[in-house]
Chains A and B, each alone.
Chain A
């Protein structure tokens, strides 16, 4: 920027600071100064008095606007304090919310684990349901065991009878054979005796 603009900026800055929102205060003070000089130079008593009254009213207007500005400044200060307080509160609640979020995330993990266990249980339960009930199977096993015992008893007794009959038949058959043998022996003996008798008959005298 050109060096001549420097003091111009300063002037603009000062004027904006003095009366930035154009409420007419600056104009009023200038008017007051001009009217004071006019009043000093006024001629007649009435004009001077009316001008004096006008100056007093302008002055009171300036005082009024000054009072208003002071009140606004006070209010702004208090607003800022209020905002600081609210800001701190919100910060605390944000931190609290963060913690709650972390807590909830842990709970989510826990819940997911529980859900997983639940599902695993459900899946296994389905598989187990396919297989028949254990009590029924045990009962069936018991019944079959008893039947098996019963049948084996019958088998034993039948075998025993079979053996007994075998032995009895064996005894019978061997007795028959012996008898046969005895009869044959007797027959042979009697034949021999007959043969001896006939040979003695045919050969009587030496």
Chain B
């Protein structure tokens, strides 16, 4: 691992330093490679680690056993220093990995990333209002239809960057406080953004303006004033949206903008996603929660970290049945769930 360590530190102290680093590590973001064989994880020290997770070739008993056999390969294949500050968000396209941290977004080639000393392809900063601002980029979103990347974060704006030319095309303003999360609505080309100001805003990309604002904390059923009004996580399914954070985790019907189901989870949730007929959520507390749309808790699977910040599903189209869920958060470990019912094993920085 490359990190800033003075060269004259004796060996014992180095190990102590490493152990302390791992103790205080938080993994903010994860991303699967386009082939599905590698997982990239970014932490609060700015490092990105690549783990090999080879998918079972056929979903059979032997394949499950082979994934158990990979116990010894729980360490990353390669770790490199990507940013000076924490790596808050990562997304991946067919050939590139985009990582974003304090104010800048960098691109890496998946083909090059496994080699030692890999350099980023480019590093860009969206146009901020003043040059003194270096706001963090909390969320990245890929819009495949128009081949662009949306960044959102501390400066309360959504910036769109065209991937072919690399120029920043739009800056959507509307949020009054920083933005936590983004989601893409497939059918109408709209982007949803949720932020610290407690609102979920829908933006139309073609017209480049705000279409709708949902003030979640104003609805009595879901607001929890003692937690605050911040929206920490968003997921959408074109007609439906789940959002949570300060207010309770709620399922909204977007066309009528009404909250339909409140999920009875007292802990604020930091990441939520739709999966088949379930909604998976994770937040404070070590468990990944599986909810049915009617509000029932179907399962609560404990992980190894005391709090979870991100979930990622291996959506490789070649083997749609063999999906793998990984969860990471306030520790140096990434939990891998091959079957949603239990934690198979953990990868560790």
In the complex with contacts A115-B277, A116-B276, A116-B277, A124-B260 CB distance below 8 A: yes
Interface bits B261-299 vs A (CB < 8 Å: 1, else 0):
100000000000000110000000000000011100000
Total cross-chain contacts (CB, 8 A): 36
Q: Which of A48-56, A105-113, A189-197 contacts B (4 or more CB under 8 A)?
A: A105-113
Q: How far is it, in angstroms, between the C-alpha of A112 and the C-alpha of B320 when the chains are bound? A: 14
Kindly state whether residue B321 has any CB partner on chain A within 8 Å.
yes
Kindly state whether residue B60 has any CB partner on chain A within 8 Å.
yes
- Chain A residues lying within 8 Å of B239, measured Cβ to Cβ, are 120
Contact B276 A120 (CB under 8 A): no
Kindly state whether residue A145 has any CB partner on chain B within 8 Å.
no
Q: How far is it, in angstroms, between the C-alpha of A113 and the C-alpha of B277 when the chains are bound? A: 6
Q: How far is it, in angstroms, between the C-alpha of A156 and the C-alpha of B248 when the chains are bound? A: 55
Smallest distance from the beta carbon of B229 to chain A beta carbons, Å?
23
Kindly state whether residue B93 has any CB partner on chain A within 8 Å.
no
Contact A119 B293 (CB under 8 A): yes
- Chain B residues lying within 8 Å of A112, measured Cβ to Cβ, are 276-277
Contact A123 B251 (CB under 8 A): yes
Contact A119 B277 (CB under 8 A): yes
Kindly state whether residue B253 has any CB partner on chain A within 8 Å.
yes
Interface bits A181-195 vs B (CB < 8 Å: 1, else 0):
000000000000000
Interface residues of B in 220-262 (CB under 8 A from A): 239-240, 251, 253, 256, 258, 260-261
Smallest distance from the beta carbon of B259 to chain A beta carbons, Å?
9
Kindly state whether residue A146 has any CB partner on chain B within 8 Å.
no
Tell me the dominant secondary structure on chain B's binding face.
Answer: loop
Smallest distance from the beta carbon of B208 to chain A beta carbons, Å?
31
In the complex with contacts A98-B60, A120-B293, A126-B260 CB distance below 8 A: yes
Kindly state whether residue A200 has any CB partner on chain B within 8 Å.
no
Interface residues of A in 83-122 (CB under 8 A from B): 98, 105, 109, 112-113, 115-116, 119-120, 122
Smallest distance from the beta carbon of B250 to chain A beta carbons, Å?
11
In the complex with contacts A119-B293, A119-B294, A120-B293, A127-B277 CB distance below 8 A: no
Contact A116 B253 (CB under 8 A): no
Tell me the dominant secondary structure on chain A's binding face.
Answer: helix
Q: How far is it, in angstroms, between the C-alpha of A126 and the C-alpha of B253 when the chains are bound? A: 12
Q: How far is it, in angstroms, between the C-alpha of A115 and the C-alpha of B277 when the chains are bound? A: 7
Contact B253 A124 (CB under 8 A): yes
- Chain A residues lying within 8 Å of B261, measured Cβ to Cβ, are 123
Contact A116 B293 (CB under 8 A): yes
Closest A residue, CB atoms, query B251: A123
Smallest distance from the beta carbon of A35 to chain B beta carbons, Å?
62
- Chain A residues lying within 8 Å of B294, measured Cβ to Cβ, are 119, 122-123
Contact B292 A119 (CB under 8 A): yes
Smallest distance from the beta carbon of B272 to chain A beta carbons, Å?
16
Smallest distance from the beta carbon of B128 to chain A beta carbons, Å?
41
- The 8 Å CB contact of A127, one of B59, B258, B276, B320, is B258
- Chain A residues lying within 8 Å of B60, measured Cβ to Cβ, are 98
Q: How far is it, in angstroms, between the C-alpha of A116 and the C-alpha of B258 when the chains are bound? A: 19
Besides the contacts A115-B277, A120-B240, what 19 more A-B pairs have beta carbons closer than 8 Å?
A98-B60, A105-B59, A105-B321, A109-B321, A113-B276, A113-B277, A119-B277, A119-B293, A120-B239, A122-B293, A122-B294, A123-B251, A123-B260, A123-B293, A124-B253, A124-B260, A126-B260, A127-B253, A127-B256
Query: What are 24 residue pairs bridging A and B, where the CB atoms are less than 8 Å apart in the complex?
Result: A98-B60, A105-B59, A105-B321, A109-B276, A109-B320, A112-B276, A112-B277, A113-B276, A113-B277, A116-B276, A116-B277, A119-B277, A119-B294, A120-B239, A120-B240, A120-B293, A122-B293, A122-B294, A123-B251, A123-B253, A123-B260, A123-B261, A124-B253, A127-B260
